[in-house]
Structure 1
Amino acid sequence: MTDAQVLRSQAGRVVTLTLNRPDKLNALTAGVLRELRVHLAAIAKDDGVGCVVLAGAGRSFCAGHDLEALAGGNALDSRYEEAETIDLLEALPQPTIGRLQGHCLTGGLELALGCDLLVAASNVKIGDTHAKWGLVPVWGLSVRLPERVGMATAKRLMFSCEILDGAAAAAIGLVDESVAEAELDARIGRIAAQVAANSSQSHRINKTLLHAGRNTSREKALRYERDMPFGQPSDSAERLAAVKVK
């Protein structure tokens, strides 16, 4: 038995971080995000990690912000502490995969959108319900949701508070794939293994290029890439030497 609200496990080069409040459907508090932040900071410096899976214990990924904690003040160290934790997830050098099942609502969706890839169970319940509770997003939803699904669809989801299943979410690009719940772990395992087998240094550079290109003109982004500001990954020669000509 553990009191940890975020669990870390590792198989090979794949690390899984699991939100561990299953009795609360992994609803988020300042404490949960604080623990997550500690793990993210450690993983960012760990060259032995090639891919990170973010999951939820029990029957849900994350039902959102813990509204009881929110009403009680939530004991933040700083105003932006929670949002900055999701920023750290997004900026993690290693590729990340969100494992979505059960509930993925509102604050849980904001957290999931910090991941690079999202794979959902077909019976997931995913959506934004800020407006249902008279709230507005402060963890990045108004930026990351339209980046995923386009502005018009983001408006529809935010204004209607519609809850989607996995197939509907995949159809609009909110998640990358939807599979039967019984197949979720196997599918994510295959993707994570493929990612982790590739060059971690390539991943770090690629993520930096992708994020940089988002914040500048297309012309500048193209020039930035071709100037190779980070050079070639140091494992490039070794990997190329291992290629067998068929």
Structure 2
Amino acid sequence: MDLVVRTDEDFVTTLSLNRPEKLNALTPAVFEQLREHLEDLAEDDDVRVVVLTGAGRSFCAGNDLGGISERKAAEPGKYEQSETVDLLEALPQPTICRIQGHCFTGGLELALACDILVAASDAKIGDTHGQWGLVPIWGMSVRLPERVGRSKAKELMFTSRRISGADAAEIGLVDRAVPASELDQTVADLAAEIAKNSPYSNRINKRLVASGVSVPRETALLLERTRPFGVPADMAERMSRGI
């Protein structure tokens, strides 16, 4: 069974978690397939935007608690889940997470690894590690504070509170919240808007932003000016055509 389904259209690749009957809860097998797709995408120069979503009525309800209780693990070293989330974050293409229904805990950790988060206004989003006596290992304690600040991140983590997509947009946890009926079109329009620009510019810009996070501001400014990642390969062509 395809637990992660890939579709390609107009330079946009969509990866859809595909366990709708389980609200796309994450298992080692899901991570194995996700990892394979991400490794392929990292080498695919024809893909300009990647959209991560979930089949059915939810994006992802989190880790499959049955799998945790059984201590079922992925193949050591190759499909370690936290490294797969890191690989999603490190994709060279801009990434969009489309969030509907539930987005809890491990699902939120996946979402936070994407560049842009778009949610249905009525989606339910939260970190529920504390409810189950768990602690994060896929990046929640780093990426959530980066999104909403340390105090708000701690409040969400300490309380296991679920908030709506609309409230998530208010605190910057997601970038945009729209009515559920408009979610598909909003994500499609955003992906198309990104895809029409230079894929080389977008990849370089993504690397510059990532590189500037862990260095002093002065170093980041100098890094940008020295063009460490070169110039976009289509610059001359686009300028000659006036696009």
The two structures have a TM-score, normalised by structure 2, of: 0.98
Q: Is the 8 A contact 2:96 2:114 kept in 1?
A: yes
Q: Percent identity?
A: 58
What corresponds to 2:162 in structure 1? 163
**Deviation digits for residues 2-39 of structure 1 (CA, Å, limit 9, x no counterpart):** x1100000111011000000011000011101101110
What corresponds to 1:207 in structure 2? 206
CA distance in 1, matches of 2:72, 2:15: 22
**Deviation digits for residues 52-96 of structure 1 (CA, Å, limit 9, x no counterpart):** 100000000000000001111122223781000010000000000
Alpha-carbon shift at residue 205 of structure 1 (Å)? 0.9
What corresponds to 1:107 in structure 2? 106
Gaps of 5+ in 1: none
Alignment of 1:119-130 (within 5 A): 119-130=118-129
**Deviation digits for residues 128-154 of structure 1 (CA, Å, limit 9, x no counterpart):** 000010000000000000000001100
- 3-state secondary structure, aligned to 2:14: strand
Alignment of 1:92-241 (within 5 A): 92-241=91-240
Aligned residues, how many? 242
Alpha-carbon shift at residue 199 of structure 1 (Å)? 1.0
Alpha-carbon shift at residue 45 of structure 1 (Å)? 1.1
- 3-state secondary structure, aligned to 1:73: coil
CA distance in 2, matches of 1:230, 1:115: 21
Alpha-carbon shift at residue 47 of structure 1 (Å)? 1.2
Alpha-carbon shift at residue 207 of structure 1 (Å)? 1.0
Gaps of 5+ in 2: none
**Deviation digits for residues 142-168 of structure 1 (CA, Å, limit 9, x no counterpart):** 000000000110010000111000110
**Coordinate RMSD, CA, aligned:** 1.0
The two structures have a TM-score, normalised by structure 1, of: 0.96
What corresponds to 1:64 in structure 2? 62
CA distance in 1, matches of 2:76, 2:136: 17
CA distance in 2, matches of 1:213, 1:226: 12
Moved over 3 A (4+): none
Q: Is the 8 A contact 2:26 2:60 kept in 1?
A: yes
CA distance in 1, matches of 2:240, 2:123: 44
For 2:148, give the aligned amino acid: V
